[in-house]
Amino acid sequence: MAILVTGGAGYIGSHTVKALQRQGRDVVVLDNLYKGHRQAVKDAPLHVGDLGDPAFIADVFGQYSVDAVVHFAALSLVGESVQRPDLYFRNNTAYAMNLLDAMVKHKVDKLVFSSTAAVYGEPHSVPIDEDHPKAPTNPYGESKLFVEHILRRYDTAFGIRSVSLRYFNAAGADPSGEIGEDHQPETHLIPIILQTLLGKREHIEIFGTDYSTPDGTCIRDYIHVNDLSDAHILALDALAAGGSTTAYNLGCGQGFSVREVIRTVEKVTGRTVPVVESPRRPGDPAVLVASSERIKRDLQWNPQYENLETLIASAWQWHQAHPDGFSQ
Ligand code: UFG
């Protein structure tokens, strides 16, 4: 019985594939390689195709005895989603339904879904728990929230049980040095700072220094990608044990400002980061910090990388060894 991982060649997907393989589990990867990297999938069968193609999905489900699905495949750029909502609702929401329909047809009843903190929008209070109102401020967050709604209905109607995992700020790399973060284009804070230190960029721009936070810059909750991977495996096990449809936040529960992240990078690397202060990036909430108490309590999730220095050190190891990401 195999676990089907969609988007398994992407950043969080490839780390989860590796974690599943470390446990000796049978994994099949499906990815269109639009953003993912073939080299990020080491020893699992990789089927290259798109969830927009029901015949391709049917072919994969026909070849394997799929026990459960972990669904990462999606577009994930907030700014792009505002410009092209059509792409986001189609890829992230409509195509997820193609996958679900194949699951119904093949009687696969367990799904772990890659959701996001963006489902909450601008927070009313922090830390954010799972009961916080859901009011996404962009099509990316909406496209994921719609899937969460669909999942609840598919449980009632078709018996597919699911766990939606709402990630806060994923960062870091597997300590093996074999896989890490490589987005084209890169928009995330930590890789951009590290690329600056490697001479790939002239400086890091701080987007906004006038937020109502202690140092004026945005605060985020950074969570190591391997701690995210562990949570997916715990969620799969909970579903296998008969668990019901639910959603969990995944963060460390501690917020760091952009300036604090830059200072921590300087401490870890021993280098000075060239900084330029710029205007706010539209749509950025001032503070996003998770309460992940629910998954700690229900699934005994126990993050191993709560220390920001350790997290950054793992990313630095990857970026130094792979300054051009997977393309070198
Ligand atoms: N930032 C900078 N300079 C940069 C890049 C980022 O100052 O060059 C700042 C941002 O303004 C933000 C913080 O660093 O305050 C973190 O930005 P990221 O782009 O790394 O991450 P986000 O918090 O914007 O995005 C994350 C996830 C998204 C998700 C979003 C929900 O990566 O997938 O949270 O709000 F949609």
The per-residue pLDDT for range 210-260, each reduced to its tens digit, is 999 999 999 999 999 999 999 999 999 999 999 999 999 999 999 999 999
Active-site position among 140, 211, 222, 305? 140
Question: Ligand 1, closest atom to CA 76?
Answer: 33
Mean pLDDT (the chain) is 97
Closest to 69 in 3D by CA, of 173, 154, 146, 136: 154
Q: Rounded to whole angstroms, what are the CA distances from 234 to 15, 162, 239, 297?
A: 15, 12, 9, 12
Residues 230 and 301 sit within 8 Å (Cβ to Cβ):
yes
Ligand 1 geometric centre to CA of 58 (Å):
36
* pLDDT tens digits, 174-221: 999 999 999 999 999 999 999 999 999 999 999 999 999 999 999 999
Q: Residues near ligand 1 with C-beta < 6 Å? A: 76, 78, 116-118, 140, 169, 187-189, 192, 204-207, 218, 220, 258, 281, 284, 288
Distance 169 CA to ligand 1 centre (A): 8
pLDDT value at position 283? 85
pLDDT band at 38 (very low <50, low <70, confident <90, very high): very high
Closest C-alpha to 144, from 17, 7, 272, 279: 7
Identify whether 140 is a catalytic site residue. Answer: yes
